[in-house]
Structure 1
Amino acid sequence: MSDDLKHECGIAAVRLRKPLEYYHDRYGTALWGFNKLFLLMEKQHNRGQDGIGIGCNKLGMPLGDPYVFRRRSSERDALSSIFRKEIKGFHKMARKGRLDPAKPGSVKENFDFGGEVLIGHLRYGTSGEFDDGSCHPYLRRSNWPTRTLMVMGNFNMTNTGELNRVLIERGQHPVFGTDTQTVLEEIGFHLDEAHTDIYRQLRDSGTSGTTIPDLISERLDIENIVKEAAASWDGGYSICGVVGNGDMFVMRDPHGIRPCHMLVTDEVIAFASERVPLMTVFEAEADQVVALEPGGMVTVKSDGSMHDGQFAEAGEYKPCSFERIYFSRGNDPDIYRERKAMGAALVPQVVDAIGGQTEKAVFSFIPNTAETAWYGLMDGLRMHRRKNVRAKLLEALESGDLDEDKVDDLILRNWPRGEKIAHKDIKMRTFIAQEKGRDQLVSHVYDITYGMVEEGDALVALDDSIVRGTTLKKSILKILSRTSPSKIVVCSTAPQIRYPDCYGIDMSEMGKFIAFQAAVALLQRSGRQSVLDDVYEACRREIRKPAGEMENCVKGVYASFAPEEISDEISRMVTPEENEWKGEVQVIFQTIENLHESINGPCGDWYFTGDYPTPGGYATVNAAYIRWYDGVGGRSYDLPL
């Protein structure tokens, strides 16, 4: 994705099923679980670089000893920094005789992360301040372990304002307006209620105070507690929580929008946002790793008993298609095949854009994450070429016009040429991100390979998706034009992004989408400003309706245009105005039909089609248009209380 977008976070969790002594005896270290947590997070580093957090819960700690621990950091290279610091502290304590690495009991007693329940979070923030305090896990402390709660997740709630109002009407005083804090407080409220009910029953029955904590821990129904808390949530989420007594839960939203995978062995129960990290870290086969069902919740009690159930009825399965297009690591076998299929699906449009002259075109990709789809594009182009050669050979055979020169000409000429043309300068990208407002530096984010594009060649560059078009206009096209091609064709493996996302990706402001800008420009240039006015009034009427009755009125902006018309306008808009190169720019997009054919199984496509999986999506899209029309920036689901 050439546009610099924040997106989905990553979660990792490790629940040991054996005492620490087992791992020390078998693997030589009592920190086996801690090391596995680090590896799970490292293998998902692509999912979050704004900050990280880790948490640990120790089971069965003596009264008076701490049992819950947390570290968070938003510093650069926070993942390596935090784990390095903890390991350094571990060895320092060992040198000073404060713990004995050969004695797991000593490790558990003295090392903060020498516990049985370990969780980690990688953050790509879409709102709020990017400081240590904004990193997960969030922690709600109490001197009762059964009321202490840690929560982390990859999620976004569309109705955070409404959820916070519920807290206020209940008599609570929420300090933060973020959905993470809201989720923590809502679960915490129901946890407190359940805890209090059990406590009073035990107290009134004359149970000894010293035995009450263990009995509360035993009777606490974490599955029902979370089910009650989640009843009014609207959004996409995979959430992990740990109660101070060691009870643990992991849940996935009813439409399966956010990903979550699980591995269960005799030694460990582990969770991650992606499948491959679990396979790699625990040397597991693909069929051992399962996705949590939509609306599913796995609970693990402090005694190790596990239950895989449902906290909500599953809705229509709508997993985020951007996981397949861009976010997830491409070494997952299914995702690798699907990305190749997306590239191959673009072949007819690409061939048409270059007039069928593959011998006069160079095919490349930008950025590096589009490489897998590029392999698919090249395979598709070669197959297209083979079919053409076969047809012409058969034609020549039938006419008797086939000789050695003809065979050589047909087979050797016009073969698709693939080259690595663009290279991203990571250091420059980081520098510009830190030095805001320096647009004159943006064009140097990428560099090119010179000499690969010959005179008269068209240059075809494959991108994952085109959201805002800013980098395309200010950087990529200026860089690519230095190769002096006859034409530049930029093709996106994703369809046109027309509508906001409200489930975790930083795509919420309507006016920033290049496809929306193109539709608006076409309407205004043709004297149809009234369409925009009518859509505005329709959106205002729509948001007054109950959430479940709303429709997407913004579809009216695009209704009178074919996708090709929008693409042509985008091509015009992203062409740099001041450039010595005067060649043509054409931008083409994947069709929605081909996207669905490329992806194995259902996929969420609301950012392309405007068909949202939850009521909050329709509230978001209508509010986003109103804010654009009124000239108000910001996320359309971050409305004040």
Structure 2
Amino acid sequence: MSDKLTHECGIALIRLKKPLSHYQEKYGSPLWGFTKLYLLMEKQHNRGQDGAGVACVKLDVPPGEPFLFRERCVKTNPLDRIFKTLQSDYAKKTASGLIHPEFADTVRKHFDFGGELLMGHLRYGTSGGYSLSSCHPFFRRSPWPTRNLALCGNFNMTNTEELNSSLIAMGHHPIFATDTQALLEKIGFYLDEEHEDIYRFLRSRGLTGTELSRRISDDLDLARVLTRASQNWDGGYTLCGLIGNGDAFVARDPAGIRPCWRYEDDEVIAFASERAPLMTVFDAAAETTSEVPPGHVVVVKKNGAVSSAPFTAPLPRAACSFERIYFSRGNDLDIYAERKALGGGLADQVIAAIDHDWGNTIFSFIPNTAEVGYFGLLHTLRERRRDEVKKIILDASRAGTLDEAMLDEVILRNWPRGEKVVSKDIKLRTFIGEEGARNLLASHVYDITYGTVRPGIDNLVCVDDSIVRGTTLRKSILRMLSRLNPKKIVIASTAPQIRYPDCYGIDMSELGKFIAFEAAISLIKERGKESLLNEVYQLCRQAVERGETENHVRKIYDSFTADEISKKIADLVRPRRNIAWDGPLEIIFQSIANLHAAVPNHTGDWYFTGKYPTPGGYRVVNQAYINYYEKADGRSY
């Protein structure tokens, strides 16, 4: 994606099934689980760089000693900083003789993260700011282990205000900070009730002391807690929770919008936002991993028992397609194939754009996440050219016109050519304060490979995985590509036009910033249909006030074909100043049909189609238009 876009967070949870001494004896380190947590998080660093946090619960800690620990950081390279800090603490205690690594009990006693239950979070901030107070995991503490809760997640709730109102109605005094805080208090309230119900039942039967505490821990039903807490939740989420007694849970939204995978063997059960990290870190085959089912909570009890149960009413599956197009790591076997298919799906449009001029076209990509799509496009184009060549040879052979000149000029030399035309330099430090100078520096983040395009002869086709705002195209990439002086520039997006806001995890909720919306508005004004803008505004206000689940913003696009909007986008992103190149520019977008053909199991496409999986999505899209019309900045949820 050439535009900078903050997005999905990453989660990791590890529950060791053996005592630390087992891992010391087998792997030579009592910190095997701690190291695996770091690796799981490092392999998902693409999912969050605004902050990181880790938590640990130690099992069966004697009274008087702490059992729940947390470390968070929002500085540059937060993941490295956290683990370096913890490793330094471990090394100092080892050097002082407080910890003897060969004796796992000393590790468990003196190292905060020498425990059996570990959780990590990588954050991209979409709400709540970027301070340490907004960094997961969130804590809710109590002297009772079964009332302690550490919570992290990859999610956005569309109805945080409603959740806070429900807390007020229950007698709470919530701090209006983030949706995480709202969920923490909601789950915490029902965790307290669950604890209190069990406590009073057992006390009535004469249990006291450690036996009472043990029975509360055994009887605690986290699936019931989540079922009660999740009433009226609206959003996309994967939640991970640690309870102070050693229980843990992982819950996924009922539409499967946010991803979550699990792996289990006789030594560990682990969860992550993506499958490939689990496979890499645990050297696991794909068939040994599985998705957490949508609308289910997986509970790991302190005794190691694992169960999965539904906790909320099911919804039609709407797993986020952007996960497959862009967010997740491309080394997952299915995602790699899907991204190649997305690139291949552009072939017909690309061939038309270059008018079958194979020999005078260079194919490339805008780094780095579009590379696999580029491979897929090039593979499909070569297959198409092969079919053409086969037909030419057969026709010429039948006509008796096949000769060496035809073989050389028409067949052998006229194949799709791929080049590394665009490269991305290390991030430039835009320390200069003046805005124009900063923009100038930002425009040099990308660079070109000179000599790859024959000036005035070759078309240049560049694959991008998605175009959101078009800002980088306009300010940087197209200016840079024009220096090669191609005959024509074609930008091919493996994603369809992004027309509507997301409210389930991706930070793109302001309609006016979408280049597709900007194009549609421009066309409306050019054709004298400004009255439609007020009509949609009134409909959106009415829908928000009445709680209607209809997307009225779709009317903005209904008057135009996708091709008309694409042409207007090309006009809007074309640089106007200080550019000598004046050749044709064409922007191509993936079709919805080809998207679903390439990514059949991730049907969540609301940012392209406006079809939202929950009522909150419709409220957000209508509110986003109200904000645009009223010139109100900020998120619409």
> Which stretches of structure 1, 4 residues or more, deviate above 4 A after TM superposition?
432-437
Q: CA deviation at 1:14?
A: 0.5
Structure 2: which amino acid aligns with 1:175? I
Give the aligned partner of residue 560 of structure 2.
561
Give the aligned partner of residue 487 of structure 1.
488
Matches within 5 A, 1:162-201: 162-201=162-201
Structure 2: which amino acid aligns with 1:474? K
Q: CA deviation at 1:551?
A: 0.5
Give the aligned partner of residue 417 of structure 2.
417
> Given the superposition, is the C-alpha separation of residues 398 and 432 from structure 1 closer, same or farther in structure 2, using an over 3 Å criterion?
farther
Partner Cα distance (1:432, 1:611) in 2: 42
Partner Cα distance (2:559, 2:196) in 1: 59
Do the aligned partners of 1:203 and 1:209 also contact (CA within 8 Å) in 2? Answer: no
> Given the superposition, is the C-alpha separation of residues 230 and 433 from structure 1 closer, same or farther in structure 2, using an over 3 Å criterion?
farther
Structure 1: which amino acid aligns with 2:473? L
Q: CA deviation at 1:21?
A: 1.2
Partner Cα distance (1:279, 1:176) in 2: 39
SS at match of 2:187: helix
> Given the superposition, is the C-alpha separation of residues 353 and 48 from structure 1 closer, same or farther in structure 2, using an over 3 Å criterion?
same
Partner Cα distance (1:258, 1:433) in 2: 39
Deviations 1:423-455 (A, max 9, x none): 112321x64799977222221111110011002
Partner Cα distance (1:565, 1:342) in 2: 22
Partner Cα distance (1:177, 1:72) in 2: 18
Q: CA deviation at 1:187?
A: 0.2
Q: CA deviation at 1:78?
A: 1.2
Deviations 1:329-365 (A, max 9, x none): 1110110011001111101111111121121111110
Do the aligned partners of 1:160 and 1:177 also contact (CA within 8 Å) in 2? Answer: no
Q: CA deviation at 1:567?
A: 0.1
Partner Cα distance (1:560, 1:273) in 2: 39
Deviations 1:228-261 (A, max 9, x none): 1012100000110011101100011000000000
Matches within 5 A, 1:85-164: 85-164=85-164
Give the aligned partner of residue 215 of structure 1.
215
Give the aligned partner of residue 356 of structure 1.
356
Structure 1: which amino acid aligns with 2:375? Y
Matches within 5 A, 1:96-495: 96-428=96-428, 431=430, 438-455=438-455, 456-495=457-496
Structure 1: which amino acid aligns with 2:53? G
Q: Which moved more, 1:197-206 or 1:392-401?
A: 197-206
Partner Cα distance (2:388, 2:210) in 1: 83
Do the aligned partners of 2:99 and 2:107 also contact (CA within 8 Å) in 1? Answer: yes
Partner Cα distance (2:277, 2:565) in 1: 39
Partner Cα distance (1:168, 1:238) in 2: 25
1:83 maps to 2:87: no
Give the aligned partner of residue 580 of structure 1.
580
Partner Cα distance (2:295, 2:432) in 1: 38
Structure 2: which amino acid aligns with 1:265? D
Residue identity (%): 56
SS at match of 1:537: helix
> Given the superposition, is the C-alpha separation of residues 281 and 135 from structure 1 closer, same or farther in structure 2, using an over 3 Å criterion?
same
Give the aligned partner of residue 550 of structure 1.
549
SS at match of 2:369: helix
SS at match of 2:85: helix
Partner Cα distance (2:305, 2:296) in 1: 17
> Given the superposition, is the C-alpha separation of residues 228 and 92 from structure 1 closer, same or farther in structure 2, using an over 3 Å criterion?
same
Do the aligned partners of 2:319 and 2:601 also contact (CA within 8 Å) in 1? Answer: no
SS at match of 1:368: coil
Structure 1: which amino acid aligns with 2:131? D
Partner Cα distance (2:201, 2:103) in 1: 40
SS at match of 1:427: coil
SS at match of 1:85: helix
> Given the superposition, is the C-alpha separation of residues 199 and 281 from structure 1 closer, same or farther in structure 2, using an over 3 Å criterion?
same
> Given the superposition, is the C-alpha separation of residues 88 and 602 from structure 1 closer, same or farther in structure 2, using an over 3 Å criterion?
closer
Partner Cα distance (2:190, 2:404) in 1: 82
Structure 2: which amino acid aligns with 1:489? V
Q: Which moved more, 1:206-215 or 1:161-170?
A: 206-215
Q: CA deviation at 1:202?
A: 2.5
What are structure 1's unaligned runs of at least 5 residues?
none
Q: CA deviation at 1:409?
A: 2.2
Partner Cα distance (2:408, 2:431) in 1: 50
Structure 2: which amino acid aligns with 1:483? L
Do the aligned partners of 1:161 and 1:177 also contact (CA within 8 Å) in 2? Answer: no
Normalization by structure 2: what TM-score? 0.98
Give the aligned partner of residue 497 of structure 1.
498
> Given the superposition, is the C-alpha separation of residues 352 and 620 from structure 1 closer, same or farther in structure 2, using an over 3 Å criterion?
same
Deviations 1:578-607 (A, max 9, x none): 112112211110000011111142421000
Do the aligned partners of 2:519 and 2:568 also contact (CA within 8 Å) in 1? Answer: yes
Give the aligned partner of residue 51 of structure 1.
51
Q: CA deviation at 1:394?
A: 1.6
Do the aligned partners of 2:134 and 2:178 also contact (CA within 8 Å) in 1? Answer: no
Normalization by structure 1: what TM-score? 0.97
Partner Cα distance (1:574, 1:176) in 2: 39
Deviations 1:195-254 (A, max 9, x none): 112222223333223432112111111110011101210000011001110110001100
Q: CA deviation at 1:89?
A: 1.0
Deviations 1:147-179 (A, max 9, x none): 110000000000011101111122211113311
Partner Cα distance (2:461, 2:177) in 1: 45
Partner Cα distance (1:432, 1:262) in 2: 43
Partner Cα distance (2:233, 2:30) in 1: 39
SS at match of 2:52: strand
Structure 2: which amino acid aligns with 1:298? V
Deviations 1:95-134 (A, max 9, x none): 1111211111111111000000000000011122212221
SS at match of 2:567: helix
Do the aligned partners of 1:432 and 1:442 also contact (CA within 8 Å) in 2? Answer: no
Partner Cα distance (2:268, 2:624) in 1: 44
Partner Cα distance (1:536, 1:633) in 2: 16
Structure 1: which amino acid aligns with 2:292? L
Partner Cα distance (1:51, 1:405) in 2: 63
Deviations 1:278-321 (A, max 9, x none): 01100110000000111011001111111011112321111100
SS at match of 1:82: helix
Q: CA deviation at 1:141?
A: 0.9
Give the aligned partner of residue 592 of structure 1.
592
1:71 maps to 2:68: no
Partner Cα distance (1:617, 1:326) in 2: 21
Partner Cα distance (1:305, 1:436) in 2: 58
Partner Cα distance (2:126, 2:418) in 1: 36
Q: Which moved more, 1:90-99 or 1:168-177?
A: 168-177
